[in-house]
Amino acid sequence: MTMTQARTRRALMAVFAASVLVATACGQGGPSASQEPAASASAAASEKPQDGGRVIEATISDIATMQPILVNDTASGRVTGLLYDVLIQVDAKTGEPKPNLATFSVSQDGLTYTFEINAKANWSDGKPVIAQDYLTGVQAVGKSAKTVRKSSYQDVQGFNDYKDGKAQTIEGIKIDSSNPKKFTVTMAKVSCPALLDIANTYRILPTHVFGKYLTATSKPEDIDNAPENTNPQVVDGPFTFSEWRKGDQVILKKNPNYWNGAPHLDEYVYKVVANTAAVTAGLKTGEITFGTIAARDLADMQTVDSVKITKYPSLGYTFIGWDTQSNVAGVALADKRVRQALAYGLDMDAVIKAVVFNEAVAHVAHHVAVQWAYPQDTSALNPYKFDKAKAQSLLTEAGWVKGADGILAKDGKKFTLTISTNSGNTERETLAQVAADQYKQLGIDAKAAPEAFQGLVTKLTSGDKTLDATIIGWSLGSEPDPYQIWHSSQIPDPAKNVTGFGFTYFKDPAMDKAIEEGRNPSNGDCSLAARRKNYDTFNKVLNEQQPYNFGYVPNVLAVSSKTLQNFNPAPFSTVYNVQDWWIKK
């Protein structure tokens, strides 16, 4: 083994354990997840769990799919994660990868990962979960035209050839001939986020169900439109699918043969409600077992004796994304000076006070505080403190001048701006209106435009050019690789049938280079120090260029009925121990 190989392997193992060093030191805006739940967890541990009952989780957005490879929203991700298991789990409090459905090891050169699936792991129809099922899942990603996450496997040997139709197999995935539950995945080059990309990003798929959609003659629409995507009858997670009443609820039943122990609960219901106010109302009456409330409802909820409130910093942020190539306002939003003016022209401190009642902190770049890649020196980043005069000066410099009607115009075209967001989310709807009102003070003809969440996400990821600005949020992970969101290859292009999360259409060579070096370092160095240096460069580019107004990182306000035992949500997961939950009768 060469010195470079040794350094690479040590660095990869350090990356896998990195979050354990920083997660407990980075919390902001309230107690960490390990504080508040402690008393109830200890109390629950002294009692014998009771089997039976159901939990009802509230959501304001319906799911779009139960096909793991097609998930691109949190609602679908929640339900899919209860149906299908992952090889590697992320520790809910630290972000550290650990064995789940499979054990794992990495070769000395950092290129080959060996997995062995738990001997007890079976599909809900009794057939064993085997290595071929992992390969089927990866092949499904390669075949699909709708998935936005092909980049998770792009460094696996042979995946790109399979994806492009140049090969019928994926060279880098080998199944042990003497053990059908053991396999290796070999990378074409060192990939720092490889473990979580190849073993945690997606669930595996039963070959005896989905294999027929992945033959040599299969078309992308075969897997993308498979009936099992919305009616999954063979799963390997703690729950099985029972019913989906669109726009109302998804009902899941316990999987009595779950390899990691059957849940105590009989049912898990994912209930769609009209808005965040309805979540609060349902929690107060007991109709809802647990959910996340809006900050405006916290004081009211603190008077309710029947619930427990857990508060911790979000692993994500709420932002305004600018479509820099919009058919409507793109002539303005393509100009960095205009985007910076929009940052200076929005009083984020006032927004945090008015919209989230100080249950958030202002954000200035992509990575958040609970991630190890969060900039250590935030003084190098512009906070864009509210400065109306600065905003107006930048707009003037960019050639925008107020007309007789007070609206900015340039080359005979008025500066109009429609701010879209998901309806039913009162926090985001309020933010959209506040932002529109403040931008009007700059002379921009701005308006808020709420619409259904799933339709909005489809527009964003498919390359719809009718959106000017969008307020949504990212739910990030323990692996800070921003490739799928920010690399220029992830910009959606409907002409090429390419979907992606790069819906600002922003690209920058320096940013691409920093992302690439943080992901696939040319010198093989995956150490935290090396990756952090690249991500500092990446965040500085974003901070200066402002393709987003990076908004704020909210506190998660998780509320649960006191009858729900062992419910201990944490930054990296809410349902990590769902099989241990039980209802105290």
CATH number, domain with residue 383: 3.10.105.10
274 domain residue, yes or no:
no
Q: Do 518 and 575 share a structural domain?
A: no
Three-state DSSP at 165 gives coil
What's phi and psi for 247, nearest 5 deg? 80, 0
- Cβ(243)–Cβ(250) under 8 Å? yes
Token pair for residue 7?
A: 């350094």
pLDDT given for residue 52 in this prediction: 98
Say whether both 90 and 40 belong to one domain.
yes
Q: How far is CA 192 from CA 87, 133, 134, 466, 524, in A?
A: 18, 25, 21, 36, 9
Instruction: Tokens 């039980």: give the residue.
Output: 582
In a domain, 34, yes or no: yes
Nearest Cα residue to 210 out of 186, 193, 234, 246: 234
User: What per-residue confidence (pLDDT) applies to 47?
Assistant: 87
Tokens of residue 409, six digits: 């115009």
**Beta-strand runs (E) in 47-202:** 54-59, 88-90, 97-99, 102-106, 112-117, 173-175, 182-186
Write the pLDDT tens digit of every residue in 230-241. 999 999 999 999
Question: Which is more confident, 21 or 144?
Answer: 144
Q: Are residues 576 and 516 part of one domain?
A: no
Is pLDDT at 389 greater than 60 in this prediction?
Answer: yes
Q: What is the pLDDT of residue 203?
A: 86
**Residue 308 located in a structural domain:** no
Distance CA 520, CA 524 (A): 7
Please report, for residues 22, 73, 251, 424, the alpha-carbon distance to residue 526 in angstroms, rounded to integers and kept in the order given.
17, 29, 43, 42
For residues 482 and 572, state if they share a domain: no
Which tokens sit at 130?
A: 């085997």
Same domain, 460 and 506: yes
Using CA atoms, how far apart are residues 72 and 66, in angstroms rounded to an integer?
A: 11
Q: How far apart are CA 173 and CA 164, in angstroms?
A: 17
Side chain identity at 262, as an amino acid letter?
A
Q: Do 63 and 166 have their domain in common?
A: yes
Query: Is there a domain that residue 277 lies in?
Result: no
**In percent, how much of the chain has pLDDT > 90?**
86
3-state DSSP assignment of residue 438: helix
In a domain, 49, yes or no: yes
Compute the average pLDDT of residues 508-528. 96
Tell me if 307 is assigned to some domain: no
- pLDDT confidence tier of residue 40, bands split at 50, 70 and 90: very low
- Mean pLDDT in residue range 457-483: 94
SS (H, E, C) 260-320: CCCCCCCEEEEEECCCHHHHHHHHHHCCCCEEECCHHHHHHHCCCCCEEEEEEECCEEEEE
**504 shares a domain with 578:** no
pLDDT of 68-108, one tens digit each?
Answer: 999 999 999 999 999 999 999 998 888 889 999 999 999 99
List pLDDT tens digits, range 416-451: 999 999 999 999 999 999 999 999 999 999 999 999
CATH number (domain holding residue 162): 3.90.76.10
Which ranges constitute the DSSP H helices of 377-451? 388-397, 426-440
Q: Which of 528, 480, 372 is nearest to 23 (CA)?
A: 372
Looking at the structure, tell me whether residues 405 and 444 fall in a common domain. yes
Q: For 24-33, what is each residue's pLDDT tens digit?
A: 112 223 222 2
Tell me how far apart the terminal alpha carbons of the chain are, to the nearest angstrom.
Answer: 59
Residue 111 is encoded by which pair of tokens? 């290129």
Residue 115 three-state SS: strand
239 and 256 in contact (C-beta within 8 Å)? no
Eight-state DSSP code of residue 99: E
DSSP-derived pairing of the beta strands 401-402 and 267-272:
unpaired
Give the integer Cα–Cα distance in Å for 83 and 575: 12
Same domain, 577 and 519: no
Q: Are residues 578 and 544 in the same domain?
A: no
Query: What pLDDT band is residue 326 in, cutting at 50, 70 and 90?
Result: low
- The predicted pLDDT at position 232 comes to 99
pTM: 0.87
Q: Pick from 394, 364, 317: which is nearest to 546 by CA?
A: 364
Query: Is residue 215 included in any domain, yes or no?
Result: yes
pLDDT band of residue 335 (cuts 50, 70, 90) is very high
Instruction: Check if the beta carbon of residue 63 is closer than 8 Å to that of residue 141.
Output: no
Q: Is residue 494 domain-shared with residue 579, that is, in the same domain?
A: no
pLDDT(63) > 60 = yes
Q: Is the pLDDT of residue 489 over 80?
A: yes
When divided into structural domains, the chain yields a total of 2
Rounded CA Rg of the chain: 24
Secondary structure class of 530 (helix, strand, coil): helix
Residue entry with tokens 């159901």: 54
What DSSP character marks residue 330? H
Which of left, alpha, beta for 448 (phi over 0: left; psi -120 to 50: alpha)?
A: beta
In a domain, 253, yes or no: no
Q: Are 66 and 229 in contact (CB under 8 A)?
A: yes
CA distance linking residue 215 with residue 228, whole number of Å: 17
In angstroms, rounded to a whole number, what is the distance separating the alpha carbons of residues 564 and 584? Answer: 6
Name the pLDDT band for 512 (thresholds 50, 70, 90).
very high
65-103-181 Cα angle (round to 5): 75
Structural domain for 516, as ranges: 316-555
519 in the same domain as 574: no
Residue 45 — very low, low, confident or very high, per pLDDT cuts 50/70/90?
A: low
- Alpha-helical segments (H) within 27-85: 38-45, 74-83
Would the pLDDT of 201 be above 90? no
